[in-house]
Amino acid sequence: MTTKQRPATTHSGQLGRIPHIKSVETRYLEEREALFRGLKGLDRRSFLKVATGAAGAAIAAGASYPFQSFLPVNVASADESRPHWTFAYISDSHLYDKQTNERFVRQLLRAVDDVNALDPQPDFVFYGGDLAQLGRKDQLDLGAQILKAVKAPVRMMVGEHDWFYDLGDRWKELFGPEHYSFDHKGVHCVVLMSVYERDFWTARALTPAERMHTVAGLDDKIQSRFEVGAPQREWLRKDLEKIPASTPLIVFSHSPLYKYYRPWNFWTDDAEEVQTILQRFEHVTVLHGHTHQVLTNRIGNIDFHGMLSTAWPWPYAPEGLPALTVQMSRPNPFDANDGLGDGTVTVHPDGLVDKLYALWNRNPMQVKASYLASGGKQDVPTAPLLASY
């Protein structure tokens, strides 16, 4: 590009011209693109498909990763210290039907592209709940149809947005029981239904649609608090009875299995009771959806990680943020996909996990097991540029 020197303005009082430079965003995106071109010799189309996944894989494999610039990254060491196994996650897509809102549909499709582009492929893709926005059949069916395009096996968890229209009927028809457990490569995995609510609808004579709408409002005070409930806690106790304490445990719950912020149901009312059941195990990791943000906590022997949403980000709550959480930067409203994403979890042979938040259009954030184990002293994630208000 040839740039002609513009004649300098001489009128007194006129503001000086802004020099012709590329914006921060343009330079950032060019640097990022240059990195991935250099990595794999990709054309632009492939680059767009794999960018997030490749960044995640490079980081997960222990590549040194300068967070402020993409240029000097060395990924030659990417194949050393191969992790035991990985799984990917997608969460909180909040789909309406296609006609009502195609944006949330496109965003879920982007996440599906991300996990399909992962190389090597994850052992499975975990879906963290809130596939639908208002629990309707057409919304759940649409989600199920889109998730069929995921190449790896998909494991499902239910969220409150999937549940409170028909109290789980359609979701269970599509995806099976709302709580279950399975073993994978020496790790015992438990999927909970943590978003039961005490009946607030009968006394108010709410219709199913009104009940669902009430639960769908994060700051709606009429609804009850989330809970796992006594019957399921009993099921969990029985499920874990025969598992030795040395077996690594990964528990999935839609709401955080601790008490973060009650007014927004960033909360599970019987969290302590569930934690008590888990305390016996040496290595426990809980992954939860619902909070739509980078969120890290550790209580006793239990590590907690949030999952990103593909629909919209939530702000950090005004109080109760766990001390170990390094916030993601405040999402930029001018970028419709900022603060959103998906991610991967690397499970080490000892059962501890490194959690990768693959934020779209941003550098990924990784929260390592060593960060939690050291009480926040080692491998501290990079601080955000713009914190929450």
Partner 1 sequence: MRSLTLPVLALAAAAAATVSAQSTDGASSSAATQSGKLVKLCDNQTTVRVPNGTPQTRTEGQKISDALMAQWEAKHPGNDWVAEELQAHTVVAPDDNAKLIGATQPSTYGPVSAQDVKVWDNETYKFAVYGSTVFHSGEALGSEIAVSCDMCHPNAANTHPETYPKFQPQLGRVVLLRDMINWCIEHPVRGKVLEPDDPKMRALEAYILAQRKGVPLDYGRR
Of the listed pieces 101-109, 177-185, 277-285, 358-366, which binds partner 1 according to CB under 8 A?
Answer: 101-109
Interaction of residue 220 with partner 1, rule CB under 8 A = yes
DSSP β-bridge partners for residue 306: 288
Looking at the chain, list the stretches that DSSP marks H as alpha helix, in order from N- to C-terminal side. 24-40, 44-60, 102-116, 137-147, 160-163, 169-175, 208-216, 230-241, 271-278, 369-373
Q: Which residues contact 321 (CB under 8 A, 6 or more apart)?
A: 260, 327
- Using the minimum distance from each CB to partner 1, give the nearer residue, 102 or 234: 102
Of the listed pieces 81-89, 108-116, 189-197, 327-335, which binds partner 1 according to CB under 8 A?
Answer: 327-335
Residue 230, Cβ density class (10 Å: 0-12 exposed, 13-18 middle, ≥19 buried): exposed
Q: Closest separation between CB of residue 311 and partner 1, Å?
A: 8
Interaction of residue 169 with partner 1, rule CB under 8 A = no
Q: Give, for 341, the enclosing helix (H) or strand (E).
A: strand 341-347
- Total residues in contact with partner 1, by rule CB under 8 A: 29
């999935």: which residue's tokens? 252
Interaction of residue 48 with partner 1, rule CB under 8 A = no
From 17, 20, 221, 242, residue interacting with partner 1 (rule: CB under 8 A):
221
Q: Distances from the Cα of 319 to the Cαs of 262, 322, 323, in angstroms? A: 10, 9, 11
User: Which of 45, 41, 33 is closest to 71 using CA atoms?
Assistant: 33
- Using the minimum distance from each CB to partner 1, give the nearer residue, 133 or 255: 133
- Using the minimum distance from each CB to partner 1, give the nearer residue, 301 or 388: 388
User: Which of 177, 184, 182 is closest to 157 using CA atoms?
Assistant: 177
The DSSP symbol for 167 reads T
From 164, 304, 314, 371, residue interacting with partner 1 (rule: CB under 8 A):
314
From 48, 61, 152, 218, residue interacting with partner 1 (rule: CB under 8 A):
218
From 84, 259, 330, 348, residue interacting with partner 1 (rule: CB under 8 A):
330
Q: Which two tokens stand for residue 249?
A: 């445990």
Site string for partner 1, 118-157 (x = CB under 8 A): ---------------x------------------------
From 336, 348, 373, 384, residue interacting with partner 1 (rule: CB under 8 A):
336
From 208, 315, 322, 384, residue interacting with partner 1 (rule: CB under 8 A):
315
According to CB under 8 A, which residues from 259 to 298 bind partner 1?
263-264
From 7, 13, 244, 333, residue interacting with partner 1 (rule: CB under 8 A):
333
According to CB under 8 A, which residues from 195 to 214 bind partner 1?
214
From 71, 149, 209, 222, residue interacting with partner 1 (rule: CB under 8 A):
222
Q: Which two tokens stand for residue 115?
A: 């996990």
> Position 336: which residue type?
A
Q: Closest separation between CB of residue 131 and partner 1, Å?
A: 16
Q: Closest separation between CB of residue 263 and partner 1, Å?
A: 7
Angle at 141 between CA 150 and CA 236, to 5 degrees: 75
Q: How far apart are CA 94 and CA 58, in angstroms?
A: 30
Q: How far apart are CA 353 and CA 319, in angstroms?
A: 27
Chain residues that interact with partner 1, rule: CB under 8 A: 96, 100-103, 133, 214, 217-222, 263-264, 312-315, 317-318, 330-331, 333-334, 336, 386, 388-389
